[in-house]
Amino acid sequence: MAKAGSSMITLYTFGPFFGLPDGSPFVTKAMLLLKLAGLSYSQDRGGYGKAPKGKLPFIKDDGVIVADSTLIRLHIEAKYGFDFDRGLTQEQKAVSWAVEKMCEEHLYWAMVDLRWMDDANFAVGPAHFFDSAPAPLRPMIRAIVRRKVRKDLYCQGLGRHAKGDIERMAIRDIETLSVLLGNQKWLMGEAPCGADASMFGFVAGLLTPEFKSPICEAVAARPNLVTYRDRIRAEYF
């Protein structure tokens, strides 16, 4: 079992955007997983072009590459013996896994839709991901990537629905998070579990004031989600 502090871990990120630790909820999740496990890491913003699965995050840990935030979690658990869900009952583990995957496989796509497909949100948000590209090429790069994201949304399925329907379904996710969190500090009580890393990434990402959407308003209208974001941000970032 490797000891925390004995390894060199590099986390490949997009970089901080919109006042968030990273523009991506999955990268933010990986950061919080590493922090919760007490592992120090360095960040490298230059990894997207060599990402083994074409997505961020991925890590390099003593030369071993692990791509995907959930596989990073499993790697930390296996290599460092850190159990993110220690102390949880089987039922709590099952619920927290379901919550995490609701965020990542459903709410995420609603977040992509509101950030990328709404013209005003795109202009204040993802359009800036390409600010470092040469000015004459920027409009073309923005249009190409936006077209790819539209196609991803269509292939995933959520992008086939009307905007109002996407919003109604995403707000059900938000209600679920708020009800399950209740008055607790963390999703499953007094201590963080694995799903909190993911939930924080999405709650924080939806609370950024830049983006205008009923989905973001639904998060902002739930004080327990706002204080959850504030508390974790203050303690870990």
Residues forming the site for ligand GSH (CB under 6 A): 24, 26, 54-57, 68-70
Tell me the CA distances in angstroms from 114 to 67, 117, 143, 161, one per residue in order: 26, 6, 16, 13
Q: How far is the CB of 89 from ligand GSH (least distance, A)?
A: 25
**Min separation Cβ 56 and ligand GSH, Å:** 4
Secondary-structure percent of the chain, ordered helix, strand, coil, rounded to 5: 60, 5, 30
Q: Nearest Cα to 58, choosing from 12, 16, 23? A: 12
Of 74 and 179, which has the nearer Cβ to ligand GSH? 74
User: Closest Cα partner for 116 from 94, 143, 80?
Assistant: 143
Report, in Å, the least distance between residue 112 CB and ligand GSH.
8
Shortest Cβ 183–ligand GSH spacing (Å): 29
Q: Compare residues 55 and 222 and give the one whose CB is closer to ligand GSH.
A: 55
Contact 12, 56 (CB under 8 A): yes
Nearest CB to ligand GSH, comparing residues 117 and 224: 117
Which residues are paired to 174 by β-bridges?
none
CA distance 223 to 225: 5
Q: Whole-number minimum distance, CB 58 to ligand GSH, in Å?
A: 8
Q: Which is nearer to ligand GSH, 103 or 187 (CB)?
A: 103
| The total number of residues written for the chain in this structure | 237
Residues 4, 39 contacting (CB under 8 angstroms): yes
Considering beta carbons, is residue 32 or 56 the nearer one to ligand GSH?
56
> SS3 for 9?
strand
Query: Which one, of 142, 138, 110, lies nearest residue 126 by Cα?
Result: 142
Q: Select 56 or 187, whichever has its Cβ closest to ligand GSH.
A: 56
Question: Cβ 24 to ligand GSH, closest distance in Å?
Answer: 4
**Residue 51 DSSP class:** -
